Structure 1
Amino acid sequence: MTQIASPAAKKVGLKAALAACLLALPLAFAPAAHAAGDAPHIEAQKWSFSGPFGMFDRGQLQRGYKVYKEVCSACHGMRLLHFRNLGEPGGPEFSEAAIKALAASVEVTDGPNDEGEMFTRPGRPSDAFPSPFPNKQAARAANNGAYPPDLSVIAKARAGGPDYIFALLTGYSDPPAGFELASGMNYNKAFPGHQIAMAAPLSEEVVEYTDGTAPTVENYARDVAAFLMWTAEPKLEERHKIGFRFMIYLVLLAGIAYLAKRRVWSNLEH
């Protein structure tokens, strides 16, 4: 025989279910809260390209490219970047002669020739940045099993962007007392888990600046982080300019609409 629950019983059951949900809610979010608490703190830096009117510093981008070429390019490629991009508006804006010289400083594999063989030649402005390794297996073999990521869009692929890159490059230190560092790993306070396979790539005076900028790890890290932000967002300045023009257009449109409204309603009695 089917029994129909009374309204009072239904009310009691609803309260019990609600109470159970409220008790389970903290448990459901506990792992996430714990994980967030373990995440390294990334301090926000001041960048010339931040904000709606931000612009890249040309000198900083040129220094950042120099750091990438002399340090980072030994392990990390940039397959989406071509030498000609270094002269485009909004970027480092190297001269045409400088770009040709930079491209010619690397050997590029080309071919096949008429005999069906591959050959090497000096780079051209139309060439992409060369990869330091022929394949992923070779890259892993040379880096203790870790694969160095491509840096073309790394500033957009990592939370924090240039802030994270700067923190990572300046975050190397000796591990604190009691910290167990795995074999072949390096301590870095900005890296999740604080253990990273990449050794500290920067040191004082490892890159020679020609514009008088101090050759410090902090300056190297800041310059290459800005350069990597540009490679990830080469049209950032153009977007900012378009946004500014659009805001002016909206203000003018609002003013015209207001004057039109005043004109239309001025002859009507209220």
Structure 2
Amino acid sequence: MWQRCAYFTVLAVLYGLFFYMANMSFASLPKSKKVALTTLGVVTAGGAGLATMLHQSVKASDLELHPPNYPWTHGGPLSSLDHASVRRGYQVYKQVCSACHSMEYLAFRNLVDVSHTEAEVKVIAEECEVVDGPDESGEMFTRPGKLSDYFPKPYSNPEAARAANNGALPPDLSYIVNARHGGEDYVFSLLTGYCEPPGGVQMKEGLYYNPYFPGQAIGMAPPIYNEVLEFEDGTPATMSQVAKDVCTFLRWAAEPEHDQRKRMGLKLLMGSAILIPLLYYLKRHRWSVMKSRKIAYRPPSK
């Protein structure tokens, strides 16, 4: 309540100061009044900033637990994604996450030469039934998926998704690591952060306690646990391993150019290491004659 009072007080002072300055030229004021007005403006601005910071510090959205920074293998400036982890992460999405979450901006062809071969992706796509049409008779029909098809949606529309999840709408995961503060750190912490609520906290039916989720009450049940699936390459499917692999997959999904961008950055650094000394040499030595040359005008004699 007092933050609101301070806010309106600051507004009133600023309005009065503006009205006073609008009716009198600042340059025509005596020095004492100039100093007083300047001091009043600084104090008012400082008070407004302090009130804003105090108001932001008690917002309920900041009460959730912030995720720690994890040492991702692709986190370095020149580090590439672990493509074996991307492959396992797609398996986690397909067997666990795709039951509720869509990835409507990702097509099967995007997996080619990233986590799977072209032949493997064709087999994966053909396992999906895609509604296509209309045919010659004007009817819709189903066909096996193709490389050009996008990942199938678990629900036909948002209303059906809400009805199947007690009113909660599962978000699309195509760009989820870019859409959440903390990126893959937040997603990893969310997936592994389910726990019992502290004493005195009562959870409504259908909600689960997660300290990393805004409001701490999330409608998604714990999706992963130890041995929730069996990886094709034999990697132990512990909770942390499953969460790590699906987060790596989601990082690639949100930023498919990740490796190419860092590769181009490395090439730029290598080229700059050759070009910058050459430009410095030209600037300091080859152009020194032009910089020190004196141009004088001599009018013709009559």
Same-fold status (TM-score > 0.5): yes
Per-residue CA distance 1:193-217 (angstroms, 9 max, x = gap): 1111111111221111132311111
- Higher mean C-alpha deviation, range 109-118 or range 37-46: 37-46
Could you say if the C-alpha distance between residues 18 and 124 of structure 1 is closer, same or farther in structure 2, counting changes exceeding 3 Å?
A: closer
Alpha-carbon distance in structure 2 between the residues aligned to 1:154 and 1:143: 19
Tell me by how many angstroms 1:6 deviates: 5.9
Please list every run of 5 or more consecutive structure 2 residues that lacks an aligned counterpart in the other structure. 1-27, 293-302
Name 2:130's counterpart in structure 1. Answer: 108
1:6-155 map, 5 Å: 7-8=31-32, 11-12=35-36, 14-16=38-40, 18-35=42-59, 38-88=63-113, 91-92=114-115, 94-155=116-177
Q: Deviations over 1:199-240 (max 9, x none)?
A: 111122111113231111111111000000000000110000
Give the drift of 1:71.
0.5
In structure 2, distance between residues paired with 1:232 and 1:64: 13
Q: Is the 8 A contact 2:64 2:211 kept in 1?
A: no
Q: CA deviation at 1:258?
A: 2.8
| Amino acid of the structure 1 residue aligned with 2:277 | G
Work out the percentage of aligned pairs sharing the same amino acid.
43
> Structure 1 residues 258 and 13, CA, compared in 2 at 3 Å: closer, same or farther?
closer
Q: Distance in 1 between matches of 2:233 and 2:259?
A: 24
Task: Say which SS state the counterpart of residue 273 (structure 2) adopts.
Answer: helix
Q: Which residue of 2 aligns with 1:177?
A: 199
Cα distance change on mapping 1:44 and 1:6 into 2, 3 Å: closer
Supply the distance in 2 between the matched residues of 1:41 and 1:262 (Cα, whole angstroms).
Answer: 51
Looking at structure 2, the residues matched to 5 and 81 of structure 1 have their Cα atoms a distance apart, in angstroms, of: 65
The whole-number CA distance in structure 1 between the counterparts of 2:161 and 2:287 is 73
Give the aligned partner of residue 257 of structure 1. 279
Q: How many residues align?
A: 264
* 1:180 Cα deviation from its structure 2 partner: 2.6
Matched letter for residue 54 of structure 2 = A
Which residue identity lines up with residue 83 of structure 2 in the other structure? R
Report the CA distance between 1:11 and its aligned residue.
4.0
RMSD value, Cα: 2.4
Are 2:217 and 1:198 aligned? no
What SS does structure 1 have at the residue aligned with 2:215? helix
Contact 2:69/2:185, CA 8 A, preserved across alignment: yes
Code of the residue aligned with 1:28 in structure 2: it is T
1:46-90 CA distances to partner (integer Å, 9 max, x unpaired)? 2121122111111101100000000100011111111111014xx
Larger gyration radius, structure 1 or structure 2: 2
CA distance in 2, matches of 1:13, 1:58: 63
Contiguous gaps of at least 5 residues in structure 1: none
Scaled by the length of structure 1, what TM-score is found? 0.89
Q: TM-score, normalised by structure 2?
A: 0.80
Q: Aligned pair in 2 of structure 1 residues 245, 115: CA closer, same or farther (>3 Å)?
A: same
Give the structure 1 partner of residue 5 of structure 2: none
- Structure 2 residue identity aligned to 1:258: Y
Structure 2 distance, partners of 1:174, 1:266, is 74
Distance in 1 separating the partners of 2:52 and 2:285: 60
